[in-house]
Structure 1
Amino acid sequence: MADKSLNKTELVAAVAAESGQSQAAVNGVLDALFSTLSDSVANDVKVSIPGWLSVERTSRAARTGRNPQTGETIQIAAGHSVKISAGSKLKAAAK
């Protein structure tokens, strides 16, 4: 696992430096991107950026589980999750 990380503030600063835009403008664009992704996932719309990534909502069926402390059988309700898949350009950058 990578021991380095890039938080949102550092990402905004890096994109602003690379693009020549202000940090406020880049921050606004990122906020709009995350808001659009969130709305799309909530409405079961797949977002795909070819070569980079795709984001989609997935469904999980109801199932039976077990409480590890007591061993008691419990019912786990159906639910939703988010699947993020890396595209070819992102995969190539990781090699």
Structure 2
Amino acid sequence: MATKPMTKTQLVAALAEEMGTDKKSASGALDAIIAIITREVSGGGAVTLPGVGKIYCRERPERMVRNPATGEQLKKAADKIVKMTIAKALKDSVNG
């Protein structure tokens, strides 16, 4: 049975406990990590989080899509999407 995802508040509390510091410092560290990942990936780079995975940006070419309501074919412009490849260590720990 799936449970609710961990919220940022819960993550900050767990990070503070793991680091042995206060929640303000843990929140600052988390915000700094998020800012670094965002800056690097939006600039076309990639970030590897050891034991977790690799976050990167991939370009999608122009393509034809269908409006499900009308069935009309539309041309969708090329765009970029953020992808994440999960590390083998994390997959193995989840699968036992």
CA distance in 1, matches of 2:50, 2:20: 25
Opposite residue 35 of structure 1, the aligned amino acid is: A
Pairing 1:44–2:75 present: no
Pairing 1:64–2:91 present: no
List per-residue Cα deviations over 1:31-69 (Å, max 9, x = no partner): 011111111111011111233211000011100111111
Instruction: Find the counterpart in structure 1 of residue 32 from structure 2.
Output: 32
Q: CA deviation at 1:5?
A: 2.3
**What is the total number of aligned residue pairs between the two structures?**
95
List per-residue Cα deviations over 1:53-95 (Å, max 9, x = no partner): 1100001110011111112111111000011111122112212
Q: Which runs of 5+ in 2 are unaligned?
A: none
Identity %: 36
TM-score (norm 2): 0.90
Task: Determine helix, strand or coil for the equivalent of 2:21.
Answer: coil
Pairing 1:5–2:5 present: yes
Q: Which runs of 5+ in 1 are unaligned?
A: none
Task: Determine helix, strand or coil for the equivalent of 1:28.
Answer: helix
TM-score (norm 1): 0.91
Please, what is the CA RMSD of the aligned residues?
A: 1.3
Opposite residue 7 of structure 1, the aligned amino acid is: T
Moved over 6 A (4+): none
